[in-house]
C-alpha cells in the first residue's frame, strides 16, 4: 500500500502530530495539490489563492517553486518532502548495482543547508520505523536501507553533476551567489535537471524573494498561475504560518518597508536592480593577457581596497591611459597578514613606477601609514564606494575602459545592485552574501582616472 503526502502529514503514526491542524492547512493544500491528490473545497480555495491556477493538478507535478515569506515554514516542509521522497519510495528497479538515489539539499553554503538537514534528522529520529531505516549518518548525510541518501551540499554546478537524484531541494535560491559564475542559479539548475530524469525526481526550489532577476524570478514570470508540470506558489508569511505573531511583521515594516515586503510579504523587490550587465562588461574585457607588464611609454595609476583579514580580499588595481581608453593592466587580490600584503603590493607598485595611490575611503589610517613605510604616498578617495561605482559606469557603457580577463572580478561586477531610496537617490553595493573587493578597486581606478580631460585650446595673443 502506497503512502501519500497527505498520509505523512496527517497520520499520527507518521508526522500527524507535527503537521496536522489548522496552522498547517495551507501547506497540506499546496503539497497535496503538488502531488495531484484530490482536494476538498477549502483546500481548493487555499490552493488557488496561492498558485493562481484555474484548476488543481490531476497528476503529480515535476517541479515546485515556492515564493514564501520568512518564517513561513519553508524549511520544515522542505525537510518533510525530503523524508517523504527518500523514505517512502522505492527506486531500486532503476538503480544500477552499487548506485543510490540521492535527495540533495542545496544552499548557498553548507551552514545554511544544514538548517534544513537538522529538520530531516529530527523527523527521521522521531519515528521508530524511519529511524530503523538509517544505516549510516554523519553531519552532512543520512543513508537509508532502501538505497537512498539524503545529503547536504553547496550550490555549485560542478559538485551537482554525476548523481541520480530522486529530489533536489534548492534552499533560498534567490540568494545563491558564487565566485565561479555570474549566473550560478541558472547553471546549477541546468546541471541538476539531467540527474533528475532517470528517477523522475522532483525539483523543489524555495526562497523568500529578492530582486526581479535569477531563476526564481524567471520561473515565477513564466509559470505562476499557469497550468503545467511546474507549480509556482506565492504567499506571505502569515498565510503559510498564521501562528507567527503579527507584531514581528509590523515591526519589520516600520524598520524597512521595502525589505519587509520581500521578506514577509513575499513580494519581489522593485527598488533593487542589476547595476551593469554581463554583456556590457564582456564588451570591454580583453581576451588576454591577464596582466599587462610595465611599459615605459606610459604613466601608471593605482587604487587599493585594503582588508584587515577575514573573507574579504585585499585588492589593488593598476592601470594607464592610452588616448581615451583607461587600460586596467592588472588586478591583484590576496588574503593574509595585511602588513605583508602591503609590502608585496609596494614592490609591484615600484615595478610600475607608481609613487602615489588612492585608497578606499573606509580603509582607515593604517593602510596609508603602512604604505608610507615603503615610500608610497597613499591618499583616501574623495568618493565613497557607491559614488565610485556610479561614476565608473559611463566609461564602461561608452567602452572607454579595457578590463583584464579576471573572471572573479567580472562576476563581482555582475552582482552589484543599484538601489533607489524613497527620495529617489541611487546607491550601489554588492548583493547579500556577495563580495566586491576586486570590482571596487577597478571602479576606484575608473572613477578617479578614467574621465577624458576636455580639450582646452591655447589662446594666441599674437
Q: What is the pLDDT of residues 289-328, one digit of tens each?
A: 999 999 999 999 999 999 866 678 999 999 999 999 999 9
**What's the domain count of the chain?**
2
Point out the least confidently predicted range of 102-116, 242-256, 373-387. Answer: 102-116
Range with the largest mean pLDDT of 103-107, 280-284, 420-424: 280-284
Both 250 and 285 in a single domain?
no
For CA atoms 46, 50, 53, 54, the dihedral sign is: positive
Both 89 and 199 in a single domain?
yes
Where in the sequence is the domain holding 411, given as residue range(s)? 278-449
Both 228 and 318 in a single domain?
no
Both 256 and 291 in a single domain?
no
**Apex 311 CA angle, 308 and 317, nearest 5:** 70
Pick the closest to residue 416 from 396, 390, 397, 395 (CA basis). 390
**Does 458 fall in a domain?**
no
Q: Are residues 390 and 450 in contact, defined by beta-carbon separation less than 8 angstroms?
A: no
Domain closes at, from 239, 270, 301: 270
Q: How far apart are CA 203 and CA 83, in angstroms?
A: 14
Both 235 and 286 in a single domain?
no
Point out the least confidently predicted range of 10-19, 108-117, 449-458. Answer: 449-458
**Where is 202: in which H helix or E strand?**
strand 202-207
Could you tell me what percent of the chain has a pLDDT over 70?
A: 92
Domain closes at, from 226, 247, 270: 270
**Does 426 fall in a domain?**
yes
Both 48 and 185 in a single domain?
yes
Both 230 and 335 in a single domain?
no
Both 257 and 160 in a single domain?
yes
Pick the closest to residue 169 from 63, 90, 58 (CA basis). 63
> Whole-prediction pTM value?
0.74
Domain closes at, from 215, 249, 270: 270
- Please state the rounded mean pLDDT for residues 169-181: 77
Q: Are residues 34 and 57 in contact, defined by beta-carbon separation less than 8 angstroms?
A: yes
* All cell numbers assigned to 339: 602588513
Both 366 and 419 in a single domain?
yes
For the chain, give the mean pLDDT: 88
Q: Is the pLDDT of residue 26 over 80?
A: yes
Q: What is the pLDDT of residues 76-86, one digit of tens each?
A: 998 999 999 99
Amino acid at each position: 500500500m502506497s503512502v501519500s503526502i497527505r498520509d505523512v502529514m496527517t497520520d499520527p503514526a507518521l508526522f500527524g502530530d507535527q503537521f496536522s491542524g489548522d496552522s498547517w492547512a495551507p501547506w497540506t493544500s499546496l503539497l497535496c495539490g503538488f502531488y495531484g491528490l484530490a482536494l476538498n473545497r477549502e483546500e481548493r480555495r487555499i490552493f488557488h489563492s496561492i498558485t493562481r491556477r484555474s484548476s488543481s493538478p490531476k497528476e503529480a507535478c515535476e517541479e515546485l517553486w515556492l515564493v514564501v515569506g520568512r518564517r513561513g515554514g519553508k524549511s520544515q516542509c522542505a525537510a518533510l518532502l525530503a523524508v517523504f521522497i527518500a523514505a517512502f519510495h522505492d527506486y531500486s528497479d532503476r538503480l544500477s548495482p552499487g548506485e543510490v538515489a540521492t535527495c540533495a539539499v542545496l544552499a548557498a553554503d553548507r551552514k545554511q543547508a544544514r538548517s534544513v538537514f537538522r529538520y530531516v534528522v529530527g523527523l527521521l529520529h522521531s519515528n521508530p520505523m524511519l529511524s530503523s531505516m538509517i544505516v549510516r549518518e554523519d553531519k552532512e548525510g543520512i543513508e537509508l536501507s532502501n538505497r537512498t541518501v539524503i545529503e547536504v551540499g553547496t550550490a555549485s554546478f560542478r559538485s551537482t553533476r554525476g548523481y541520480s537524484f530522486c529530489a533536489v531541494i534548492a534552499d533560498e535560491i534567490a540568494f545563491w551567489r558564487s565566485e565561479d559564475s555570474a549566473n550560478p542559479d541558472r547553471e546549477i539548475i541546468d546541471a541538476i535537471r539531467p540527474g533528475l530524469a532517470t528517477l523522475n525526481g522532483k525539483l523543489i526550489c524555495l526562497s523568500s524573494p529578492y530582486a526581479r532577476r535569477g531563476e526564481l524570478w524567471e520561473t515565477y514570470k513564466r509559470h505562476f498561475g499557469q497550468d503545467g508540470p511546474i507549480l509556482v506558489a506565492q504567499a506571505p508569511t502569515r498565510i503559510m504560518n498564521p501562528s507567527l505573531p503579527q507584531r514581528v511583521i509590523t515591526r519589520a515594516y516600520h524598520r524597512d518597508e521595502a525589505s519587509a515586503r520581500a521578506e514577509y510579504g513575499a513580494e519581489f523587490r522593485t527598488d533593487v536592480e542589476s547595476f551593469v550587465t554581463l554583456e556590457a562588461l564582456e564588451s570591454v574585457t580583453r581576451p588576454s593577457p591577464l596582466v599587462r607588464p610595465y611599459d615605459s611609454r606610459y604613466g601608471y595609476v593605482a587604487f587599493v581596497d585594503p582588508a584587515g583579514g577575514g573573507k574579504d580580499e585585499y585588492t589593488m588595481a593598476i592601470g594607464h591611459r592610452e588616448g581615451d581608453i583607461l587600460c586596467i593592466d592588472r588586478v591583484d587580490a590576496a588574503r593574509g597578514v595585511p602588513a605583508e600584503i602591503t609590502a608585496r603590493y609596494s614592490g609591484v607598485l615600484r615595478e610600475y613606477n607608481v609613487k602615489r595611490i588612492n585608497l578606499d575611503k573606509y580603509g582607515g589610517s593604517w593602510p596609508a601609514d603602512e604604505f608610507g613605510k615603503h615610500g608610497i604616498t597613499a591618499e583616501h578617495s574623495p568618493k565613497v564606494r557607491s559614488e565610485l561605482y556610479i561614476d565608473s559606469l559611463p566609461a564602461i557603457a561608452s567602452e572607454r575602459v579595457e578590463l583584464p580577463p579576471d573572471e572573479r572580478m567580472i562576476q563581482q561586477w555582475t552582482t552589484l545592485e543599484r538601489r533607489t531610496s524613497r527620495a529617489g537617490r541611487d546607491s550601489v553595493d554588492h548583493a547579500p552574501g556577495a563580495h566586491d573587493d576586486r570590482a571596487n578597486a577597478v571602479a576606484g581606478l575608473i572613477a578617479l582616472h578614467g574621465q577624458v580631460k576636455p580639450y582646452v585650446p591655447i589662446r594666441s595673443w599674437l
